[in-house]
Amino acid sequence: MRYIIIGAGAIGGSVGGRLAEAGHEVVLVARGTHREVLRERGLTLTTPDGTRTHRLPVVENPAELGELHPDDVLVLAVKTQDAEAALDAWSARPVAGGGTAAETLPLICAQNGVESERMALRRFRRVYGMCVWLPSTYVEPGAVSAAGAPYTGMLHLGRYPAGTDDTARRIAADLESGRLLAPVVADVMRWKYGKLLGNLANAVEALTGPLTGEEALDLVRRARAEGEAVLAAAGIEAVGEQEQKDTRADRIHLEPLDGSPRGGGSSWQSLSRGTGTIEADYLNGEIALLGRLHGVPTPVNETLQRLANEFARERREAGAMGVGELVALVDKAS
């Protein structure tokens, strides 16, 4: 199998680098300065076991690859707000032997949130969900770091909307050869909804900084309580916090990385890099959407969604809002 990593940022770069280290064929898809540095100097991946540079093929768009291989695996690792464009770009690409990528190739949604799989299934016949637990950081163009040890992360994998197959098991075996735990599960969306509840904290961290004080943690609890109420009203099952902890147990722990400090989560990193977008519409916004569909008020998540988007559009600094100010705005909306 050849793995085409669509979005070689913190997650995509970590997964692609680990697969390459294990001897698998990998192509990175990136843009801008990141693409230029990857082409010129390679992908630098720092983990607790050292820093390595991987010279891998890098493209900006599918046309640069030409005809795809029948054993290609597409790994969608862009933020959900960028998924539509990526799916459009890759779905119609011809595959050697006949057919298009959308008709013949497996596509893995390795993203936060639960919307990309649905987007993908409109175009691709073979869609797989991946619940990503892989603490990683986009350090600078061409360089990413991942602090997990002895495994870099845990990636639950399964067919969308449900089920497993031999392809999922083959992909999981390849991931595990690269020090990435990859349980194959028939209920992958249950895991992704569980991760979604945890990711509701991302906006709080992005707006106010590290979640250390009781005031910030209480706001996170309020956001999660709304999420749990909404999922219950919608009849959606999600993996609980304890089951997630028990599954990881002592198999993965985080270690300090010399020269590559661990930054905040994915939303914090989006603000820190000034990308102009943030994934709040598909995290807190997913709860707001389900709340409106099922008649459950979600003022905390709606406020976090709105403010996170404002920060992103205005390219305001991550952590620039005081926790007290944020709580006051949430209380006002409530």
pLDDT tens per residue, range 66-124: 999 999 999 999 999 999 999 999 999 999 999 999 999 999 999 999 999 999 999 99
Mean pLDDT by 10 residues, the chain (334 residues): 97 98 98 97 96 97 96 98 97 97 98 98 98 95 96 98 98 98 98 98 96 95 98 98 90 82 82 94 98 98 98 95 96 93
Residue type at 71 in one-letter notation:
D
| SS3 readout for the chain | CEEEEECCCHHHHHHHHHHHHCCCEEEEECCHHHHHHHHHHCEEEEECCEEEEECCCEECCHHHCCCECCCEEEEECCCHHHHHHHHHHHHCCEECCCCEHHHHCEEEECCCCCCHHHHHHCCCCEEEEEEEECCEEEEECCEEEECEEECCEEEEEEECCCCCCHHHHHHHHHHHHCCEECCECCCHHHHHHHHHHHHCCHHHHHHHCCCCCHHHHHHHHHHHHHHHHHHHHHCCCCCCHHHHHHHHCCCEEECCCCCCCCCCCHHHHHHHHCCCCCHHHHCHHHHHHHHHHHCCCCHHHHHHHHHHHHHHHHCCCCCCCCHHHHHHHHHHHC
pLDDT of residue 264: 86
Contact 67, 100 (CB under 8 A): no
pLDDT of residue 249: 84
Contacts of 1 (CB under 8 A, 6+ apart): 24, 25, 71, 72, 73, 170, 171, 174
Please work out, in degrees rounded to the nearest 5, the angle formed at the alpha carbon of residue 115 by the alpha carbons of 110 and 117: 55
Contacts of 110 (CB under 8 A, 6+ apart): 11, 12, 15, 75, 76, 77, 130, 132, 155
